[in-house]
Amino acid sequence: MWVCTGCSCLCDDIEIEGDVIRHACRIGAGLYLNRSVARTEPLIDGKQTDIDSAIERAVEILKDSKRVAIYGLNNSTLEAQKIAMKLAEKISAYVDNGSKFGKLAEMILRKEIPSTTLENVKDYAYVIFYWGCDIHNSMPRHMSRYTYYPRGKKRQRGYEEDRFLVVVDVRKSHTAMLAKKNAIFIKSDDDRKIIREFLTALEGGIASGDVLRVVKEIKKSDFNVIFGGGGLIEGLGNELEEFVRFVSNVGYFIPTDYRTNSMGFFKSLFEAGIPKANLEDLLIDEAVDTAIIVGSDPLDSMPFDVAKKLAKLKLIVIDPKVSFTSKIADVVIPSAISGVECGGRMLRSDFTEVELKPIFKSEFDDAKILKSILGGL
């Protein structure tokens, strides 16, 4: 059995037989089957070199830098993240993984908001919210593996009777299209308003028909769960207090950050006592002159105005795959695909620790590369 690192579901039931990979979704199967396509080579200023020279050059750049940002690490193991934190401490670097889930993740770690495991969801959850996330596209097996569709200990009668699905989104996503029998889709233009409406209804007040219907279902069970994605985080902004009250009234909250080891990143950061930085803000303020990008492609995810500023920095890219950012980097250091070519541990989206089961071996991986850089400083 292989553990897929295609997203933060970290599905651990994958069978591989030669060139056939079973049960992994298109994202996970592609990650494995296309592993040798578009691989990076060691580069300095776009010219081929060997990996040791590339690492040496990275060290030189770091020595000459005033302020560094370390960015990415979502595809790195907990072990590699730990070394990255040490590196950050040593050179007083900012650290960011580009995810906006930091605040809620920290609240879960501090136990300020009730959370649970996906296994418990499968066994006990009745009302299942997907709020501001199109899970079918971002974590394709989430619903079939852990939440709405599978049968669990106390949920033996299947999704049509034993679960109630609520999808809240600004648009009718593929996930929203699954809200059929015993389910509801609520179109939201203002998440905070709907949360307030829910709070009112939960306390017996007046609310819209849809909200009242869901509240009636919520009251049928003491185990309900809210999965929240990027859309929800955006909708909430900095106002988390009402949301926490809402979760406490309903049941549990589990983030749906698809980035594979994003929760691991937040935990590593939390344990190291480093505050999470926001690279986009740092770029706008022109507060950094160098960035180490680990397994991430900010040019493929940051708005143009900000990314253009990033392109002006000294860039050290550590990545197994060619990316837009690697194309413009000063130094490129090839790495291993975590879970495929190197092992270690990661945290699933619900903070459950999972041990990876690599199929291949690799001489270099994020942990080793970061260690050499740290050693060179």
Partner 1 sequence: MPSPMDIYKLLPKTNCKLCGEQTCMSFAFKLIKKEKKLEDCKPLFEPEFEEQRRKIEEMLKVVEKATETGLIVNEDLCIGCGNCIVVCPVHVYEDPEGAGSGFGIRLEKPILRVENGIVRVIDVSLCRRYKEKTICVACRENCPTSAIAFLEEL
Partner 2 sequence: MLRFAKFLKKVELKLITYRDGFQVSVAMKDKFGEEFVEKSAIVIINPNTAKTFGFKDGQIVKVSSNERCANLRLKVSEIAPEDCALIPKSIYSCYLSSDKITIEPTDGEITTPNELLERYT
Binding footprint of ligand SF4 on the chain (CB under 6 A): 4, 6-7, 9-11, 24-25, 27-28, 139-141
Residue 103's nearest CA partner among 299, 240, 280, 247 is 240
> Which residues 6+ apart lie within 8 Å of 203 measured at CB?
none
| Residue 294 binds to partner 2 (criterion: CB under 8 A) | no
Q: Does 174 bind partner 2 (CB under 8 A)?
A: yes
Residue 265 identity (one-letter amino acid): F
Site size for partner 1, by CB under 8 A?
36
Task: Identify the residue among 4, 31, 143, 168 touching partner 2 (CB under 8 A).
Answer: 31
**What are the DSSP calls for 197-222, one per residue?**
HHHHHHTT----HHHHHHHHHHTT-S
DSSP labels for 90-140?
Answer: HHT-EEE-S-S-HHHHHHHHTTSS----HHHHHHH--EEEEES--HHHHST
Phi and psi dihedrals of 15, rounded to 5?
A: -105, 135
What is the per-residue DSSP string for 56-83?
Answer: HHHHHHHHH-SSEEEEE-TTS-HHHHHH
As a whole number of angstroms, the distance between CA 164 and CA 215 comes to 11
User: Phi then psi for 37, rounded to 5 degrees?
Assistant: -85, 145
Residue 301 interacts with partner 2 (CB under 8 A): yes or no: yes
Q: Output 160 or 300, the one with its CB closest to partner 1.
A: 160
188 vs 171: CA distance, rounded Å = 8
Does 47 bind partner 2 (CB under 8 A)? Our answer is no
Choose the contact partner of 20 out of partner 2, partner 1, ligand SF4, none; CB within 5 to 8 A by kind. Answer: partner 1
Residue 150 in the binding site for partner 2 (CB under 8 A) = no
288: left (phi over 0), alpha (psi -120 to 50) or beta: beta
Q: How far is the CB of 312 from partner 2 (least distance, A)?
A: 9
Query: From partner 2, partner 1, ligand SF4, none, which one binds at residue 10 (CB under 5 to 8 Å depending on kind)?
Result: ligand SF4
Residue 181 CB, shortest distance to partner 1, in Å, is 9
- Stretch of 94-102, 138-146, 265-273, 331-339 contacting partner 1, by CB under 8 A: 138-146
Pick between residue 272 and residue 322 the one whose CB is nearest to partner 2: 322
Q: Which one, 100 or 308, has the nearer CB to partner 2?
A: 308
Stretch that binds partner 1, among 104-112, 177-185, 265-273, 311-319 (CB under 8 A): 177-185
Q: Which of 178, 236, 269, 354 binds partner 1 (CB under 8 A)?
A: 178
Task: Give the CA distances from residue 45 to residues 50, 155, 317, in Å, rounded to whole numbers and listed in that order.
Answer: 13, 58, 12
Which of the 8 DSSP states describes residue 300?
A: G
Interface residue list for partner 2 (CB under 8 A) = 6, 25-27, 30-31, 34, 37-38, 134, 136-138, 140, 170-174, 258, 297, 299-305, 307-308, 311, 321-324, 327-328
Interface residue list for partner 1 (CB under 8 A) = 13-15, 19-30, 33, 122, 136-137, 140-141, 143-146, 149-152, 158-159, 174-175, 177-178, 180
